[in-house]
Chains A and B, each alone.
Chain A
Amino acid sequence: MSEEDKTQPPESEGEAVEKSGTRGEPQASESKGSEEKKEPAQAVPPTAAKEKPVKPPVRRAKKKAPTYEDLVDDPLLKNLQQKFSEGILSGQSFLDQATYTVSLEVLHDVLLDLRDGTEAQYDYLVDLTALDYLGDEKRFCMVYHLYSHSQKNLIRLRCAVADGESVPSVTDVWKTADWMEREVYDLFGIDFSDHPDLKRILLPDDWHGHPLRKDYDIKLQDQVWIKEHLQIRKTPE
């Protein structure tokens, strides 16, 4: 047992239960046992444990899980919607961080406009990365974090991208995007159009596969590369 386990009340149960939508069920407040036992228990239909008394969710009441809320009266959202109408899909906030979802067609123009056009002047590209929602129709999601030095404000842009689609490069907007896009290309295999020098950055040039994809197992390696370059003749399957 690590020190994390020693002192804590079983508050985590509340968290787990809230998410799976089975709030207030008996197994939620029943055990102080290990988490492994609990997980399958949630799959049991509610009728299975009906006879146990339902404890009121006392502790849960004060702690509310954060949720996505639609942005209301957000000047930036209005501004963008005016300019790009259908291209701006939504504006939400989560834990006070604003997220704007845009379509791939207008992505580059929106980013350029955010830097030059709006009053806020998002002149600093904080971060650029991707997420892999394996199984979704549009598998990948590009995520941009922008910061405005004049407004001292951070925003996030999301844009869904299907496998095989190429994303317009923003290296012409921010020079710093160069390596960030190369990293996304390397680890996710997303192609960027008009990137000046799109090649792998962290992994060797002749590596096969893109490790941060969800269908790339953590133990998976490029056996061919390893045999060739590290002179290891026998590698585990």
Chain B
Amino acid sequence: MTTLEESTVLDTRVLEMNMGPQHPSTHGVLRVKLKLDGERVVDAECIIGYLHRGIEKISENRSYIECVPYYDRTDYIAAVSNVYGFLLGVEKMMGIEVPERGRYIRIMMVEFNRIASHLLWLATHAIDIGAMTVFLYCFREREEILKLFEALFGARLTTHAFRVGGLWKDLPPGFEQEARKFLDEFPARVDEYEQLLTENRIWLARTKDIGVISGEEAIEWGLTGPPLRGSGVDYDLRKAQPYGGYEDFDFDIPLGENGDTYDRYVARIEEMRQSRRIIQQVLERLPDGPVRGKAPKIVKPAAGEYYSGIESPRGELGYYIVSDGSAQPFRVKIRPPTFIGLQALRRLVRGHLMADVVAIIGTLDIVLGEVDR
């Protein structure tokens, strides 16, 4: 027992602590400078840029077609979406029509990518919080999707999925059966994750009321994707500004209410089910025909500018393409959802315990390749 006099002379400084850049739960090379008052976080500052490769600068020095594989390497977890967003912009500027079969296959692959990305998120988010089993289960399912990628694109991660005007080639034989098989099994698998987590007391204690943000504030911070929808804002570019043929399909946008880590978890889980719904509709309606439209050999959009935004698994991914009429883009500005969303980390962790920082970083679903570009 200390006397009152003794305790008043104890020094209670705010402790500054580094988390990362080599820390497994920061999902890459993120460094967070935490200011701690005991176990409580007073302030947090993100230091990024360790993975900056200057992809926007490289884009200005390559032709439009040569740019495409670089965007695989921004958000390497959702490489298919990245390429898709850029190509939609270029095709719009050039007035290139993608045949229906090509459009549908693109949507199918982008949705497969969304599932794969959310599975990776769930796996790492769960293991960060301490649920080991889910990690193994999620990677099992993700592997099936990567096999499909390999069959169609020839690569698992940096897929260079699409080409100007459509796809490189049509679906390989047996692809549809494999995809259907996966879709048939998948709902039971998602139920399995939910059994492990959704009503798990430890999971609830670690995620409920952690990192709460209101809808209005989320908009002000520029959050998009599941972090925004977890706060109840109905904004999904697939519905708000339909692109590439999404208006043909039925799906719901899952919304949260409280804007906490748990709601964002529920939103992403439900999104996986909705993505499956979209893919099923694609497979049912998949028309015959070419997968690639008429596209010129050299891509030279007329001088002008276009902002092409899509809903990537992480939120609004935008490509602002400025053309000066030459074969190389004058400027390609990538609007990465997690670069902008990561700013909100400072706001979200304030007042929480040190251990919750890990949960909040996980719930933002950052990919440092995209943050740093």
Contact = CB atoms under 8 A, between A and B. Distances in A.
Given A8-B296, A66-B304, A203-B49, A152 B222 contact: no
A159 to B, nearest CB: 14
Interface in B184-235: 219-222, 233, 235
B339 interface: yes
Interface string A109-143: 00000000000000111110101100000000001
Interface stretch (B171-179, B262-270, B276-284, B319-327): B319-327
B168 A143 contact: no
A66 B372 contact: no
B302 A66 contact: yes
Contacts of B163: 3-4
Interface string B35-78: 00000000000001100101011101100010000000000000
Interface residues of A, number: 55
Nearest to A178: B343
Interface residues of B, number: 57
B318 A126 contact: yes
B161 to A, nearest CB: 13
A15 B302 contact: yes
Contacts of A12: 296-300
B235 A149 contact: yes
Contacts of B307: 97, 126-127, 145, 154, 156
Nearest to B165: A8
Contacts of B327: 35
B333 A129 contact: yes
Contact of B294 (A9, A65, A187): A9
A225 interface: no
Contacts of A175: 220-222, 343, 347
B300 A4 contact: no
B309 interface: yes
A174 B222 contact: yes
Nearest to A115: B220
The 6 A-B residue pairs with the shortest CB-CB distance in the complex, in nearest-first order: A176-B222, A12-B296, A65-B302, A12-B298, A202-B49, A11-B296
19 contacts: A3-B163, A8-B296, A12-B297, A12-B299, A12-B300, A19-B303, A65-B302, A95-B93, A127-B333, A127-B335, A154-B307, A175-B221, A175-B347, A176-B221, A176-B343, A202-B48, A212-B56, A218-B60, A218-B61
